[in-house]
Structure 1
Amino acid sequence: MKKRILLVLIMAVLVNGFALTASAASKPPTFVTVVMDGMKLWFPDAQAFIDENQRTLVPVRFVAEALGAKVGWEAESRSVPIQKDTQSIRLTIGSNIATVNDEEVAFDTQAVMQGGRTFVPLRFVSEILGVAVEWDSKTNTVFLTSTEQLNGKTDPWGRLIRTTNLPKNAADYPYILADVPNAMYEMVYPYHHEERYKVAATVAGQAEYSKQNKDIWMTRIKTFGSLWLNVDYRTIDDSWAQALFATKMQNSDGELRRIREYVSWVKENHIRIEGYLDPEPSMSFYDGFGSDHIRAHFRVRFVDYDKSERLLYDQWFPNDLRFEKGAWYEGYTDIQMSTNVGGDWGSTLKVSPTASLFSNYMFVKAAEKDE
């Protein structure tokens, strides 16, 4: 259930920097979904996340621009000017002084830079720019509302539904979201059993595919992705292996052994990866062979490595495919989910041991964007 956050003292919420590394491998970064007026904000690289103090930090440029503000970057002073109508904000990296409408305001913490992006607490920018904020703890979603009423119907997750410019296979889905491109819907389904296969529109009405269960699945996939796609040879350890293993359907300890072998390879091959998975709850389907699949948007970059082999813990990793070091790649993939429980299996669904980023997918090199 969404809980409205009433903000009064907005000038007391800037927080200390938090590096998105694997230094605490068993505690992956908790990435946050941001929905603005029913439309999900698709951040191009650095993602909104919850820090160790349980505050939500966002890359300020993309949120502020979605709110209609103009955002700049002054390299010499390392400051970020934000302007919307008569509202004026200036944040400076490493300083606890912000300027709001030409008045200096002191903070006990600072705006931070991470991965070339400036991060600030979501509540600070959103409240200054005049929008309401709601928080859904079940799905780690922040809802920003700048209008009194959304212009259109929304799905159970507060996303706007569109009825025009539909994908060719729109009938396969319970509805089509306004912020999801047709390419994601039209990506072909993986292999399936013709008689038992069920598309998203078919399973949507079944009890096991309830919002309650899907909320659990989405959280598990996000946690899996925040471990799976964030690897650093300098800090990875056995706690990472055990944490990744815990997100998956555990049929035997054999997979834990294989994950540990991958950890050793990460260290040997000097692998560094950054990325995330963002699953779509309305895009789940049954393959007819005992597994469900959930389509997800992903972004990943292979920061560094020696050999372009087994860069991910993924049995389908294409060793013959060359990734440009440091470049972001984005696309869509079907994440396989499974359970070893019969009957009321909904809440037990976890990431399958054979889940792959490259089993059924499409991706391109992402366009570069400046700060």
Structure 2
Amino acid sequence: MHSTTLSKQRLLVLLMFFGLANTLTPFPTDKLALIVLALTGGWLLERRLVFSWNGIASIGLLTAWLLLSCFFSIGRPDSAWQDASLLIFFMVTAWLLTTAAVMRPTEFLNSFLVAVALYLLCGLVTWGYSLWSNNIFYVMPLYGKGRPDIYAALSFATTPQVFATIAALAAVTALSLKQAAIAQMPKKRLICRYDIMIMLSIIAIVASLNRVWLLFIPVLLVAWWGRRVLLAGVLLGVLLGGFLLAYSDIAFTLGTVSSRLLMIDHMITFFGEQGISSLLVGRPFYSEPYFHMHGRDFHYVESAPFFLVAKFGLLSLLPIVILLGAWLFRLYRIAPFLAFFSLYYLVFVQFMTHELLSVSFWLYWVVMACLWSERAHGLNFYIPGTKRSGNRESSFLCQA
């Protein structure tokens, strides 16, 4: 008997797809899909949810801190309350979804890959159509890099980086599931689907023209082919060589990097002008510009640590840094590659910019919880259409 019925599997994939599609409709259908997915995850995966008091306490404390920071802030709540409300929304939905997903992690991850495959294919199709027709259709012209004639693949994401992040997360997931399939069922090497997913993800990253994730492609290729690094190098040369030749002015421009460093310098100056209370608990309702650069005012901070300090204070950043270090250390003990990917994404990527208000950042935690559950607790690898051995009724949140 299948672990989930076919109709429930399709509904699970559909909800995930719409949860990713932030710009598909003018209405917040992505938020609605995430709410339905979080509330019905246990039913879709046919597992009873087991809530942990530790998880409830953690979510409660984080939410209370955000509300407390808002209470002590000074300024107008018309713009910045949206940031705090989005963080609370994503935290709660990601926690509920994780509690359901870790009951049947492999089934959830396979459904996630199908949804992301559809999402990436839509992005590549619209990207190809825009290049062919010279129309802007779910792509982003590179105005900021002085090349409005060049389009970055976007799909239904808010930025090409979010699109590339989802592709990278799918590639890492497919790599992990492929390794589990080979290790546990060598005679049933159902690896073709995972190889296709990895290749699709890499193509999507290249089409996004996002340099942060383009730098990670060599790591993905080496992890994919292992000892066949030479073949990986040839493919890397084909993929990135054409990109560098066609878009050399984009690949090597340092304008955005220098702007990011200048932004950090301006933010340090801004913090030095704040009072002790604002520095400790933040100013989430602050609506004035943080700094002036390139002839315009900036009301948004594109760096996770500076964003957190500006909005919610140093007292919110310090425990996050401690918890992040503990998470990376524990992850390294069971899955070094996942730990390296997490270090790259949670530290380097979030420092250069941030996705705290995007679904990609919170999906990372759901996916990593499932991969942790598979690695740490030695679950039998599940192949759709076969019987599942074993029954899991304990929560990842209780054991982590």
- Report which of the two has the higher share of helix: 2
TM-score when normalising by structure 2: 0.24
- Higher RCO (Cα < 8 Å, 6 or more apart): 2
TM-score when normalising by structure 1: 0.26
- Report which of the two has the higher share of strand: 1
